[in-house]
Amino acid sequence: MSNKMWGGRFASGPDAIMEEINASIGFDYRLAAQDIRGSRAHVAMLADAGIVSREHADAITRGLAQVEGEIEAGTFGFSRALEDIHMNIESRLAEIIGPDAGRLHTARSRNDQVAVDFRLWVRDAVDDLDGQMRGLQQALAERALDHAGAVMPGFTHLQSAQPVTFGHHLLAYVEMLGRDRSRLADARKRLNECPLGAAALAGTSFPINREQTARALGFDRPTANSLDSVSDRDFVLEVLASAAICAVHLSRLADEIVLWVTPQFGFVQLSDKFTTGSSIMPQKRNPDAAELVRGKAGRVIGALNGLLIVMKGLPLTYSKDMQEDKEGAFDALQSLSLCIAAMTGMIRDLQPDLKRMKAAAGAGFATATDLADWLVRELKMPFRQAHHVTGSLVKLASDGKVGLEKLTLAQMQSVEPQITEAVFGVLGVEKSVRSRTSYGGTAPANVRAQAKRWIAKLGKEAPKGG
């Protein structure tokens, strides 16, 4: 039996294996709302251009509304035999209004149809992700303001380096998310061109108005080249690349939470909302939400790599390989959305142990740089000499199993006679963080100012939409 949607070229139906590999309705049903939206804009333009009658256009529009209602109500019957969401909707439209449903496909192809549907879906996803990232930034900035002066160790090589504040640490991720949002915003600008009207690959001989459909669908303009319109998926690649970078940022924060909740660190605690127990060890409280955020980064990165590999060897224009553009993107962007939601919840939920963090901040001779800076500032030493003197003092303290602040003045002067009692004014962790007043530094006053700036900026932002 021939497929009525393909027409008379095919005398028999596809083999069962062909149907299995060819069908995309199992995942592209997610494009239903975008497909109907694009069809409405297309048929309205066809009527305005006199390509189809107003009567036929009205019938198609009413039929599309019924199809939309059935899909939203969950009563629509999706068919694998009809391959994809476009054919499923058109077939149901034909059942509702009869053969005139076929007029909807005048001056378009499934190639430009899927291109516009997918652009609309990706654009919607970008807008949703931007709102979620903004919410996470707000959560981080608010917690940063709460803990602008809470001292914790700063690390390099996962070794204690210099004291910082917990608020400063959280604001680092606010900055990262700001760049993530900027990348998505840039990608959105570039994808916001409408491919509808490019048809299969060469455009159409019908007197269509592509500017009209572009405006109706919230695009800035029509795409300028019909071949490019249907053959590239760089708009998905760019969004996935931005999503992958964001997923890496979330994974790094998640990994820190996993470390911080261990008894060995003990910096923060998560409630039962974001932890699970063990089937055998009753004492366990596992940070599963953070671990899953860390793990799901691989899905997002994998989707980007997968689509790059699909696209790398395709000649212009459309090839069926490009059907593989959607499933990974759907999964990746929905996974990222879930990860942002989980991370926002964890940031609002976690409770820092301020005493534990402050104690850890003083371990590992974390104020050694403050001592070296004091030698440069007060004794006018070249920094390299001050670095050497400080190293000798660290060794002296380490041999005595005490902190730098516990060395006596006499012990310090045995290494550098010019040292005075004033040196002890820079050796406490709180004094250390207060001294880091350079722009972008960890001084609590800086952190409060930056947190307030972000909170005000984020509060003024209007939701995006197309």
Which residues are the active-site residues? 157, 278
Distances (CA, A) of 328 to 232, 281, 324, 334: 16, 37, 7, 10
286 forms beta bridges with: 276
Is the Cβ–Cβ distance between 264 and 317 less than 8 Å? no
Q: For residues 69 and 204, what is the distance between their CA atoms, to the nearest angstrom?
A: 31
Q: For residues 445 and 278, what is the distance between their CA atoms, to the nearest angstrom?
A: 43
Query: What six digits make up the tokens of 391?
Result: 């190293």
Q: For residues 395 and 390, what is the distance between their CA atoms, to the nearest angstrom?
A: 9
Give Cβ neighbours of residue 246 (< 8 Å, ≥ 6 apart).
129, 133, 177, 180, 184, 336, 340
Q: For residues 419 and 409, what is the distance between their CA atoms, to the nearest angstrom?
A: 8
Q: Is the dihedral of CA 288, 166, 132, 234 positive or negative?
A: negative
CB atoms within 10 A of CB 456: 10
Torsion angle in degrees (nearest 10) through CA of 274, 327, 465, 138: 20
Is the Cβ–Cβ distance between 30 and 114 less than 8 Å? no
Query: What six digits make up the tokens of 19?
Result: 């149907």
Give the long-range contacts of residues 208-215, CB within 8 A, separation 24 or more.
208/45, 208/46, 208/49, 208/51, 208/107, 209/45, 209/48, 209/49, 212/41, 212/44, 212/45, 212/48, 213/38, 213/41, 213/42, 213/45
